Structure 1
Amino acid sequence: MSPDYDAYDSSGRLLAEERAGDNAPPLTVSELSASLKRTVEDRFGHVRLRGEISGFKRAASGHLYLCLKDDNAVIDGVMWKGGAQRLAFAAQDGVEVIATGKLTTYPGRSKYQIVIDRMELAGEGALMALLEKLKGKLAGEGLFAPERKKPLPFLPRTIGVVTSPTGAVIRDILHRLSDRCPTDVLVWPVLVQGQGAAEQVARAVRGFSEMAAGGLLPRPDLVIVARGGGSIEDLWSFNEEIVVRAVADCTIPIISAVGHETDTTLCDYAADRRAPTPTAAAEMAVPVRAELLAGLSEMSLRAGRAVRRGAAQARERLDMQARLMPTPDTLLSPQRQRLDDASMRLQHGLRHRLADARAHLSEAGAALRPPLLKQHLTRAAERLDRLRLRPDYLMRALSDRSVALDRVSRHFASLDPDLPLQRGYARITAQGQLVKSVEEAQAAAAVTLHFRDGAVEATVGPLEPGPAADILPARSPRRTREPTAGRQQDLFS
């Protein structure tokens, strides 16, 4: 018995349909994701999170992907390329930070995440922990070993200085060197604070080290890496691994003069000599000592701090205004993240494809071992020896073929249609076809007679009554090769 479908209630219907009083129309997944995205971004437009970095990754596009976690929870985070370039420290797993940004959703994975605009270390304790971790790693590689230190030249003719060209440090060094001993100075201008400062300092140190003697510019006999004092955040560029390795690998004796006497950076440990101040570095560089104009240096530092403070306040006001306007990062963030996901999946797929191809090549190459090739070669030689032709077999086969050819030739000669013509017979054709009967001859009316020495044309007529002996041709037929102007002779008239 078939079921009664009309008896089903609304919960058992096969097809969805609108019902009276239903005010909840179905939403698409994209509509629901967009509604959730707007709700989360409106409610959490500005948040600050404190947590430990985990799963840190830097995509090829320059964006940073990470997780912030504490003891009980974890949240995904992303920092776009523009914010990553302004990051004042090298982010890595295990570092406790305070991230400032806004919450949003990523519909492609049905997850919520924080888009980080600014990220700072969570207090001086976290920064010192990161510093000690990097210090232990580099010390384990021997970059701070005393036997790596090079002696300073007694009287350098040329001194290379790596510092900011607009700060007070370079003026202090030049002034002290001028007071103590006239010396040529090459200044390599770099940033000494902020994003990109570490890369510029490392590039300058390596540039001085790679200069050739006798070139357009004289190669320095001594290098001074200098920067004014500041907080540990201000001096952090000289704790970066890229700067420490460049200083340790420098082939020229180098003095580190970063910060004040109480400030210590990893660059100081890697250098051949540490100076408590840039001025002290100038005093170490040349043998003559003189007093430093402390008042001028202090005023220059205060002026620099005032300028930086005003710039920082203006930058904060600009950031506050910029938050009220939609940014390209906000509009393009889902597309960028999808692009990064596709790029990562492509790299993963290429690696798997390469691994499969290598495995297939290994399997195919295993069958090409020398013993197997020799075995196949031996078998082929044996088969070739068995198939080798002997002279007696060839002569016998040649004789048999000659006999068969002679027999076929005689049979072929007996089938020659012109052979009976030699014995007085004639072959009759009509319009190129062989005439085989009287009916065919009468139907054709005009025929061609082929003889041993030529052919003639004739017409066919009715046979006259009387004895066969009285039937004689009126005249002999003409050959076709002798043209005639008259009519054709009748063979049977």
Structure 2
Amino acid sequence: MVAPFPDPASDGDTPARLLAEASRGDNAPALSVGQLSAAIKRAVEDGFSRVRVRGELSGAKRAASGHFYAALKDDNALIDMVMWKGQAARLAFRPEDGIEVIATGRVTTYAGRSKYQLVVDSLEVAGEGALMLLFEKLKARLGGEGLFDRERKQGLPFLPRTIGVVTSPTGAVIRDILHRLADRCPAHVLVWPVLVQGEGAAAQVANAVRGFDALRPGGAVPRPDLLIVARGGGSIEDLWAFNEEPVVRAIADCSIPVISAVGHETDVTLADYAADRRAPTPTAAAEMAVPVRAELQAQLATWQGRLMGAANRVRLLGGERLAALARHLPRRESLYAPQRQRLDEAEGRLDRTLHHRLDRAAERFAALERLLPPPTALFTARQQQLVGTCRHMEQWTRNQMARTEERLTSRAHILRPALLERNWQRDRARLDGLGRLLSSLDPRALLARGYAMVRSADDDAVISTAAGARAAGRMKLHFADGGVSVLVAEGAGAAPAPVAALAPSPRAKAKKPKEQGELF
């Protein structure tokens, strides 16, 4: 038998009761568990309806419903916390384990497990030290994904026609950028106005970068060749929008080169690591974006002078080469002299021949005259006819000489200097073409591209077939930078039967060049 428990309100002589009965004078009726839990809930919520708790996040997780659950702890205690979906969506940072925060909310109880928890309305990073810890953790995580790798960086265009600027439209940053661009080299600027600080700034900056990247070439709004994400200086808390993960990912994924110009020279954000180029100030970003127009003009003038000088040198060298070649050509008088001499000799021979024939005819006439009877009328007429024939022959000879001289004079234009120069230029162009063809057929050019020339080691004859290589046994391979002696390891096989050369067709005989006749 179990001994009864003694009643603490009674002395030791009063026996314990088995059934619960209301005691005389007892005004505290028994409460149910739910009533007690509700009373505790009211007491806790009334006493701690507005509290600010500082602690380190532990076990942070975001549920599929959007609610955020974690625990706040320090060296002595731990309290659970919950942040409902609406408040969690407005967080300015991504809460992670190990970050020291200050939570503002109210304490309530959870009757289902007899525990209390903190319902958080706002969550802030506790001081710049904790904010820098969050910065380093986010930098390490995004850097581990490769968003800051040098291989992802793009080169900036040399002379962008359109520049997109993501910044506040009312600050001094946009005025500094426009003024600097106008001083150096004016360009078409598109401004996407955004908030650069406070709630919603990170989302607007990320949407602006993705919006510029979504533009297509040739559309109503020109696609920028370069983006500048800019903001003035401030504290790390002021610049925190450019450390947000959506902004960093938007800049890293942008196909347009991006210059980050957030803060002053000492301010560093994660947007600087993700951008293709970091500028210490917005003014420096404008200087990186475009070159100086005056320097470009001076450079172009220098190049133009060099180009004109090179062209003049080519012209002068060509003139010198032409004059040198012209000195080797025969003079016009020397070309005419043999022809004139031949003409004079022909004229002299013709004159002598005519007089010789006239003399022979006179002698023959005198001999015939001696054989004939005395002159008669018929003989006189015959004599006159012969004299007329001789005169006609003399006139015909002179006419032939005149026509020959005219023909020689008409053909003399062939030897004019302009025609000689034209023929020389045509022959020079043909010679240059043959030179280029010879260069293209030069086997040494093939050796420079990786080919090799195979020659016999004995007589240095070119080997062009496998049978020839097997028959030679020892060969020498000529490369572009030297030769290598090799031996044929494969046995010499039977050489293929020679193919009879086709007999040349009678039509393929080369025509004998037509001989040029004499000038006269």
Q: TM-score, normalised to structure 2's length? A: 0.51
* 1:80 match: 84
Please identify runs of 4+ aligned residues in structure 1 that moved more than 4 A: none
1:155 aligns with 2:135: no
* Change in 2 beyond 3 A, CA 1:96/1:223: same
Paired residues for 1:27-106 under 5 Å: 27-106=31-110
1:209 aligns with 2:213: yes
Amino acid at match of 2:18: G
1:120-161 CA distance string (max 9 Å, x none): 212222111221122222223332222322111122111111
Paired residues for 1:75-224 under 5 Å: 75-224=79-228
Secondary structure (helix, strand or coil) at the match of 2:155 reads coil
1:270-294 CA distance string (max 9 Å, x none): 111111111221222122399xxxx
1:331-359 CA distance string (max 9 Å, x none): xxxxxxxxxxxxxxxxxxxxxxxxxxxxx
* 2:289 match: 285
* 1:269 match: 273
Post-superposition offset of 1:203: 2.1
* Change in 2 beyond 3 A, CA 1:168/1:289: farther
Post-superposition offset of 1:72: 3.1
Post-superposition offset of 1:224: 0.7
* Change in 2 beyond 3 A, CA 1:136/1:223: same
* 2:358 match: none
Post-superposition offset of 1:25: 1.2
Post-superposition offset of 1:93: 1.6
The equivalent position to 1:21 in structure 2, one of 6, 10, 25, is 25
Q: Structure 1 residues 245-254 or 187-196, which shifts more?
A: 187-196
Asked whether the 8 Å contact 1:85–1:195 carries over to 2, the reply is no
Asked whether the 8 Å contact 1:283–1:289 carries over to 2, the reply is no
Amino acid at match of 1:12: L
* 1:230 match: 234
1:12 aligns with 2:28: no
Asked whether the 8 Å contact 1:86–1:194 carries over to 2, the reply is no
Post-superposition offset of 1:19: 4.1
1:227-271 CA distance string (max 9 Å, x none): 121111111121122221221121111100111111001110111
* 2:505 match: none
Paired residues for 1:242-253 under 5 Å: 242-253=246-257
1:421-462 CA distance string (max 9 Å, x none): xxxxxxxxxxxxxxxxxxxxxxxxxxxxxxxxxxxxxxxxxx
Q: TM-score, normalised to structure 1's length? A: 0.53
Identical-residue share of aligned pairs (%): 75
Tell me how far apart the structure 2 counterparts of residues 118 and 179 of structure 1 sit (CA, whole Å): 47
Tell me how far apart the structure 2 counterparts of residues 35 and 289 of structure 1 sit (CA, whole Å): 79
Structure 1 vs Structure 2 CA RMSD: 2.3
1:102-128 CA distance string (max 9 Å, x none): 222122332211122332212222111
Tell me how far apart the structure 1 counterparts of residues 135 and 165 of structure 2 sit (CA, whole Å): 25
Paired residues for 1:241-390 under 5 Å: 241-288=245-292
Amino acid at match of 1:130: L
Tell me how far apart the structure 2 counterparts of residues 189 and 28 of structure 1 sit (CA, whole Å): 61
Secondary structure (helix, strand or coil) at the match of 2:93 reads coil
Amino acid at match of 2:26: D
1:8-53 CA distance string (max 9 Å, x none): 966312xx45443221112233322222122112222332222111
Post-superposition offset of 1:167: 3.0
Tell me how far apart the structure 2 counterparts of residues 168 and 29 of structure 1 sit (CA, whole Å): 64
Amino acid at match of 1:245: R
Q: How many residues align?
A: 281
Q: Structure 1 residues 24-33 or 174-183, which shifts more?
A: 174-183
Secondary structure (helix, strand or coil) at the match of 1:113 reads strand
Tell me how far apart the structure 2 counterparts of residues 183 and 154 of structure 1 sit (CA, whole Å): 12
1:71-97 CA distance string (max 9 Å, x none): 332101122344334422211122111
Post-superposition offset of 1:213: 0.9
Tell me how far apart the structure 1 counterparts of residues 44 and 224 of structure 2 sit (CA, whole Å): 59
Tell me how far apart the structure 1 counterparts of residues 166 and 145 of structure 2 sit (CA, whole Å): 25
Gaps spanning 5+ residues in structure 1: where?
A: 1-7, 291-493
Tell me how far apart the structure 1 counterparts of residues 148 and 207 of structure 2 sit (CA, whole Å): 20
- Name which one, 1 or 2, has greater alpha-carbon Rg: 2
User: Which protein has greater RCO, CA pairs closer than 8 Å, 6+ apart?
Assistant: 1
Tell me how far apart the structure 1 counterparts of residues 178 and 111 of structure 2 sit (CA, whole Å): 59
Secondary structure (helix, strand or coil) at the match of 1:206 reads helix
